[in-house]
């Protein structure tokens, strides 16, 4: 269980970091950016539109512009950053822990905290109307 | 004895790696499925994750190993498929509402135009 958990943390850290890097460098990608499926279908902006641009502005410390692009951008960025830091932190703790009970406690607390953090940061997406 | 060890190691590693890949893909799918822009795409990655987790489950079963990771991966991927479907449903409803609203606007415009003439 411990080795699987360590491997899972290492693998999931890569896409989490990739999402943050993508938001950071997306102006350099030109046409290789993610298109909104809702906007494609309806020609109307959805509640997720402007998230990449918002996170990009937040990474440049322009927080007011980030909130203008998408009100959830700061929360979503903090979710990805905290989740990424947690992967490394938990792997450091796991490498020092041999006791199976502690590993289990760490796993359960990680799952509970991650789910609660996810629900808090993404709450706007499942409560608001899909179109702006 | 040596052969048995050599044969059992790839099998036990195989289900583990497959389970972890399925779990990673499923976790990412469930995170992204809540974002409306990519939620519908997460539906498809969730299906891929569910297939991978079923393969991992079968492999773990044949290796007589712990199936917990494959089961967790399967649950997470099914949830992401469900959320992706829900996003598609929300979008369909939004389009339907938009069309109805457009219809009402057109009706009232035609009525106003007829009354003028």
CB contact under 8 A, A130 and B91: yes
Rounded to whole angstroms, how far apart are CA atoms A115 and A117?
5
Rounded to whole angstroms, how far apart are CA atoms A23 and A73?
11
pLDDT in tens, B6-53: 444 445 577 888 888 998 999 899 888 888 888 888 889 999 999 999
Shortest Cα distance, chain A CAs vs residue B18, angstroms? 11
Domain assignment present for residue A122? The answer is yes
**Structural domain harbouring B31:** 2-84
The answer to whether A103 faces chain B, any CB pair under 8 Å, is no
Q: What's the pTM?
A: 0.77
Domain assignment present for residue A7? The answer is yes
How many separate domains does chain B show?
Answer: 1
Rounded to whole angstroms, how far apart are CA atoms A56 and A18?
13
**Structural domain harbouring A34:** 2-127
How many separate domains does chain A show?
Answer: 1
Helices (H), chain A: 2-25, 37-42, 51-59, 63-69, 73-96, 100-121, 123-127
Domain assignment present for residue B19? The answer is yes
The reply to whether ipTM tops 0.85 is no
Domain assignment present for residue A27? The answer is yes
Residue of B nearest to A131 (CA): B94
pLDDT in tens, A25-70: 988 887 777 788 778 777 888 888 889 999 999 999 999 999 999 9
CB contact under 8 A, B34 and A51: no
């Amino acid at each position: 269980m411990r080795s699987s958990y360590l491997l899972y943390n290492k693998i999931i850290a890569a896409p989490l970091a990739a999402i943050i890097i993508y938001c950071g460098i997306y102006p350099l990608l030109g046409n290789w950016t993610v298109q909104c499926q809702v906007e494609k279908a309806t020609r109307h902006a959805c509640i997720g539109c402007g998230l990449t641009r918002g996170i990009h502005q937040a990474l440049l410390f322009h927080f007011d512009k980030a909130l203008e692009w998408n009100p959830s951008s700061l929360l979503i960025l903090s979710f990805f950053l905290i989740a990424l830091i947690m992967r490394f932190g938990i792997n450091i703790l796991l490498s020092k822990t041999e006791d199976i009970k502690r590993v289990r406690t760490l796993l359960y607390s990680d799952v509970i905290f991650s789910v609660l953090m996810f629900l808090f940061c993404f709450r706007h997406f499942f409560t608001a109307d899909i179109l702006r | 004895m040596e052969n048995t060890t050599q044969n059992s190691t790839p099998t036990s590693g195989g289900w583990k790696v497959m389970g972890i890949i399925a779990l990673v893909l499923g976790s990412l799918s469930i995170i992204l499925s809540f974002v409306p822009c990519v939620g519908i795409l997460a539906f498809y990655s969730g299906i891929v994750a569910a297939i991978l987790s079923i393969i991992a489950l079968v492999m773990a079963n044949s290796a007589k190993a712990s199936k917990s990771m494959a089961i967790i991966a399967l649950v997470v991927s099914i949830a992401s498929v469900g959320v992706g479907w829900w996003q598609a449903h929300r979008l369909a409803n939004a389009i339907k509402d938009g069309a109805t609203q457009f219809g009402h606007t057109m009706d009232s415009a035609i009525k106003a135009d007829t009354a003028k003439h």
